[in-house]
Structure 1
Amino acid sequence: MSYRHVLSVPAMGSAVRIARETAELVLVECGVGLRHPSVGPGLLILAELVTNSVRHAVVLSPMITVTFAHGAGAYAFAVHDRHPYQPALFGALATAPGSGLATVVEMTMELGGTAVVRPDADGHGKSIWITLPL
């Protein structure tokens, strides 16, 4: 059974807390225990991506959309904003080790997950999708 939930929040500091709390509710709703080994790191990854959107995209993207998805053996989330910059996720490991984005990629890889940047069709925004195994 698959599950999808979409959250839109203003690009402000409280977005991080709201996104984390919503993620916890979604996981519980899907039957995933909050003590599952990938949940804590997944919440940190989510918080970092929402923080990046709040810090860097707010001028062009007053709203941030977070999409949560759950299916057999995996859960995923995407953080979307309307800023055109598309970060090189895996380039961050080499060019900005220790940065928030490099940490996101490292944690995702350590969990056996995937990280992908998907541009909007019009080129004026993007979603960063993280998929983690359960």
Structure 2
Amino acid sequence: MSTRLEALPHRHVLTVPTLPAAVRVARETAEQALVEWGIGLRHPIVDPALLILSELVTNSVRHAATHSPELTVYYAAGRDCLAYGVHDRHPHQPALYASVTGTGSGGLGTVMELVLGCAGTAVVRGDCDGKGKTIWVTLPL
């Protein structure tokens, strides 16, 4: 599975206001991109990928809106993987894998269970200025 974003030939970027409607827009954009890239919506990774994406965008809307008037979703795919990142300007960087071990809760625990169940990876990358982050998810196709 390729893990380098620049190695993935299909890419799309979406920036939207950090409002509840962002969840629907991010999901619909993902579906459209997947179809355009030749990844059928019946592919077994698509449903978990869309749920993960929806949860990450929901988390940004719920927790980052006061710090981040916009959020950005990065979509990418290659022959053998699908990757996306959700960026906001809230400085908190959640401990992703702690949510699986029982010290976290809620949507992030669901995200990580799905990521791991699909043999994927997730990582938090902080902005250089420490005032924001991107949560990146990579899933095998």
Structure 1 moving runs of 4+ over 2 Å: none
User: What's the CA shift for 1:92?
Assistant: 1.1
Distance in 2, Cα, partners of 1:113 & 1:72: 15
User: What's the CA shift for 1:71?
Assistant: 1.2
Matched residue, 2:49: 42
Distance in 1, Cα, partners of 2:48 & 2:82: 13
Aligned residues: 133
Aligned pair 1:96/2:104, yes or no?
Answer: yes
What is the percent sequence identity of the aligned residues? Answer: 60
Distance in 2, Cα, partners of 1:73 & 1:29: 16
Matched residue, 1:122: 129
Matched residue, 2:85: 78
Task: Please point out which of 60, 68, 74 is paired with 1:53.
Answer: 60
Distance in 2, Cα, partners of 1:91 & 1:112: 17
* Equivalent residue letter for 2:18: A
Give the TM-score, by structure 2 length. 0.92
SS of structure 1 residue aligned to 2:96? coil
User: What's the CA shift for 1:72?
Assistant: 2.0
Distance in 1, Cα, partners of 2:104 & 2:77: 31
Distance in 2, Cα, partners of 1:82 & 1:39: 27
* Equivalent residue letter for 2:11: R
Distance in 2, Cα, partners of 1:32 & 1:54: 27
The equivalences for 1:13-28 within 5 A come to 13-28=20-35
Unaligned runs of 5+ residues in structure 1 are none
Give the TM-score, by structure 1 length. 0.97
User: What's the CA shift for 1:3?
Assistant: 1.0
Distance in 1, Cα, partners of 2:138 & 2:33: 15
Distance in 2, Cα, partners of 1:81 & 1:106: 22
Distance in 1, Cα, partners of 2:124 & 2:116: 15
